[in-house]
């Protein structure tokens, strides 16, 4: 394959990776709360309005909305597009490593074996990344100082 073909494959893999990154964000938010990963659709945590499909496009949706909810204008964390961008980079990097750094022909064993190896490694990397983000969120919640209301007028 020439570099143009590799670049096209990397672009396709990055777009797919960004979509997976969006799902990683869903997992990080919902798994610790025991919520379904598939229902209901994504909503603004403040105004509870469902996120429109056009606003749910990985990375671009956040940029077009300037990091705010379309309905209530509440800021949306920059972490969402960052996670999507990081996961979008994982798959093309794995592809380039697998296709260029292999001691043997990367397609030895056939294209199907190459794809299985590539996506197996991608699944492992994104699962680990998701677990790390969930752990960081849990740690951040535990370490945050909490105000205690005592009922005596002091907070």
pLDDT per residue over 63-90, tens digit each? 999 999 999 999 999 999 999 999 999 9
Instruction: State residue 129's pLDDT score.
Output: 96
Say if CB 78 and CB 105 are below 8 A apart.
no
The answer to whether residue 155 scores a pLDDT higher than 60 is no
Asked whether the CA dihedral 128, 25, 78, 63 is positive or negative, the reply is: positive
The answer to whether residue 153 scores a pLDDT higher than 50 is no
The set of residues, in sequence order, having a beta carbon less than 8 Å from that of 95 and lying 6+ positions away, is 9, 10, 13, 118
What tens digit of pLDDT does each residue of 2-19 get? 778 889 999 999 999 999
- Which pTM does this prediction carry? 0.81
Cis preceding linkage at 47, omega within 30: no
Q: Taking Cα atoms as reference points, which of 116, 125, 117 lies closest to residue 88?
A: 125
Q: Taking Cα atoms as reference points, which of 118, 121, 123 lies closest to residue 99?
A: 118
What would the mean pLDDT of 28-41 be, rounded to a whole number?
A: 91
Say if CB 60 and CB 67 are below 8 A apart.
no
The answer to whether residue 104 scores a pLDDT higher than 60 is no
Say if CB 72 and CB 46 are below 8 A apart.
yes
**CA-angle at 125, arms to 124 and 129, nearest 5°:** 120
Instruction: State residue 136's pLDDT score.
Output: 92
Confidence of residue 152 (pLDDT cuts 50, 70, 90): very low
Burial degree of 51 (CB within 10 A; 0-12, 13-18, 19+) = middle
Which residues are registered as beta bridge partners of 68? 75
**CA-angle at 39, arms to 22 and 130, nearest 5°:** 35
């Amino acid at each position: 394959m020439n570099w143009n073909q590799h670049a096209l494959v990397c672009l396709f893999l990055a777009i797919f990776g960004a979509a997976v990154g969006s799902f990683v964000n869903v997992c990080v938010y919902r798994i610790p709360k025991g919520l379904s990963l598939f229902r209901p659709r994504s909503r603004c945590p403040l105004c509870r309005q469902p996120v429109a499909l056009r606003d749910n496009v990985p990375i671009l949706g956040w940029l077009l909305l300037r990091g705010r909810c379309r309905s209530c204008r509440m800021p949306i964390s920059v972490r969402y597009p960052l996670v999507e961008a990081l996961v979008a980079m994982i798959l093309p990097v794995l592809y380039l490593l697998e296709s260029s750094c292999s001691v043997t022909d990367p397609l030895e064993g056939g294209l199907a074996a190459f794809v299985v190896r590539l996506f197996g490694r991608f699944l492992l990397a994104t699962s680990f990344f998701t677990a790390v983000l969930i752990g960081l969120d849990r740690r951040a919640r535990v370490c945050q100082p909490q105000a205690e209301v005592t009922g005596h007028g002091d907070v």
